[in-house]
């Protein structure tokens, strides 16, 4: 699937610096500004720069409020293991590895081909060892959701990239020095992150796109803006920006703009007359506005922003 993301020159510079310094890149910005999609762009960028060196997919860890740093490597489903052992009513031990799954860092370590890993065991985890050590791009999404200890412990995990699986005696693995792990973290700034953690990260704040940057994003997602539709899109984007300015709680993001434009397209916006186009804009505000406070605020100025 093509990457529908446009990285600014300043973001590209921040990413390149993070890779060069072997530091994680922490991205902040409004929800919907493309923080998660940026990781896919980063992988494609590195694949083009270093052909054959990187694993073909971004390895994603979705942070939860109960996440621990060890969860970055693997999870063990103890409940399912217990139930399976009892349901089968067998005396022999049910293998623990059948109930273990590797997570983003664990997969990245495995793809680096560290010494001593049993390929058959990794196949149980759903991992096929590459012929040569592979570097990986790891996305840790919404890191600010996790408990404070998660980010503190994360520093040590990024420093060493090694782990043991307690449920499998003798299992230990550490990243092969021949491969790299490029880490991208996202935060919605719902809570402050520890200073010690921030000092170890490269940082970039993604501003909400405006003007031509926003038009470029629309063109990227909708397959190009022609001379015939340019004026119409300019009007729709201007209307969207006025809705954003009027919102008081949750300003609509680029993802909502794209969905709104696609909806108008399916409803025949481009073939409609001016009166019908105005009606379609107003009728489909629910794709842009998501709270009662914002709806009330927008309705107060709607007559001013709808020609």
256 lies in some domain: yes
Domain count within the chain: 2
Compute how many other C-beta atoms are within 10 angstroms of the C-beta atom of residue 31. 15
Can you give the pTM of this predicted structure?
Answer: 0.84
- Residue 88: the pLDDT is 56
- Residue 48: the pLDDT is 95
Tens of pLDDT along 216-229?
888 888 876 777 77
- Domain assignment of residue 252, given as a range: 211-305
Residues 225 and 161 both lie in one domain: no
Q: With pLDDT > 90 as the criterion, what percentage of the chain qualifies?
A: 42
What is the band of 138 on the pLDDT scale with cuts at 50, 70, 90? Answer: very high
What is the band of 34 on the pLDDT scale with cuts at 50, 70, 90? Answer: confident
239 lies in some domain: yes
Residues 69 and 145 both lie in one domain: yes
Residues 45 and 188 both lie in one domain: yes
Reduced to 3 states (helix: H, G, I; strand: E, B; else coil), residue 175 is coil
75 lies in some domain: yes
Q: Which of 186, 206, 226 is the last residue of a domain?
A: 206
Annotate 150-173 with b (16+ C-beta within 10 A) or e (fewer). Answer: bbebbbebbeebebebeebeebeb
Is a pLDDT exceeding 90 seen at residue 181? yes
16 lies in some domain: yes
Residues 67 and 142 both lie in one domain: yes
Residues 42 and 76 both lie in one domain: yes
What is the band of 208 on the pLDDT scale with cuts at 50, 70, 90? Answer: confident
Is a pLDDT exceeding 60 seen at residue 232? yes
Paired tokens of 123: 């196949």
Tens of pLDDT along 61-84?
999 999 998 899 999 887 877 777
Tens of pLDDT along 86-120?
765 554 567 777 888 999 999 999 999 988 777 88
What is the band of 306 on the pLDDT scale with cuts at 50, 70, 90? Answer: confident
Residues 138 and 38 both lie in one domain: yes
3 lies in some domain: no
109 lies in some domain: yes
Residues 279 and 159 both lie in one domain: no
Q: Are 36 and 186 in contact (CB under 8 A)?
A: yes
Residues 44 and 110 both lie in one domain: yes
Residues 245 and 181 both lie in one domain: no
Q: What is the mean pLDDT of residues 145-167?
A: 88
- Residue 108: the pLDDT is 96
Q: Residue 193, class by beta-carbon neighbours within 10 Å (0-12 exposed, 13-18 middle, 19+ buried)?
A: buried
Is a pLDDT exceeding 50 seen at residue 272? yes
Residues 199 and 244 both lie in one domain: no
Q: Which of 173, 206, 239 is the last residue of a domain?
A: 206
């Amino acid at each position: 699937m093509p990457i529908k993301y446009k990285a600014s020159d300043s973001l590209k510079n921040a990413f390149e610096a993070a890779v060069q310094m072997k530091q994680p890149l922490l991205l902040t910005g409004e929800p919907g500004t493309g923080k998660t999609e940026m990781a896919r762009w980063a992988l494609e960028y590195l694949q083009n720069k270093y052909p054959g060196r990187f694993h073909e997919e971004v390895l994603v860890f979705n942070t939860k409020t109960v996440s621990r740093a060890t969860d970055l490597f693997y999870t063990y489903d103890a409940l399912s293991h217990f139930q399976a052992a009892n349901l089968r009513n067998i005396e022999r031990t049910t293998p623990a590895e059948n109930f273990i799954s590797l997570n983003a860092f664990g997969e990245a370590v495995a793809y680096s081909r560290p010494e001593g890993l049993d390929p058959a065991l990794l196949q149980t985890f759903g991992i096929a060892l590459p012929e040569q050590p592979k570097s990986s791009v790891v996305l840790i999404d919404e890191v600010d959701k996790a408990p404070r200890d998660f980010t503190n412990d994360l520093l040590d995990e990024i420093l060493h990239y090694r782990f043991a699986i307690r449920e499998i005696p003798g299992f230990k693995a550490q990243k092969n020095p021949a491969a790299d792990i490029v880490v991208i973290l996202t935060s919605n700034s719902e809570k402050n992150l520890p200073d010690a953690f921030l000092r170890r990260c490269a940082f970039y704040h993604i501003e909400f796109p405006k003007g031509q940057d926003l038009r470029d994003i629309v063109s990227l997602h909708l397959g190009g803006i022609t001379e015939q539709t340019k004026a119409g899109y300019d009007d729709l984007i201007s209307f969207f920006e006025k809705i954003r300015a009027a919102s008081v709680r949750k300003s609509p993001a680029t993802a909502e703009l794209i969905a709104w434009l696609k909806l108008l397209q399916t409803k025949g916006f481009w073939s409609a007359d001016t009166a019908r186009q105005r009606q379609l804009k107003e009728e489909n505000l629910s794709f842009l506005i998501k709270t009662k406070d914002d709806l009330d605020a927008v309705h107060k100025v709607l007559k001013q922003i709808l020609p």
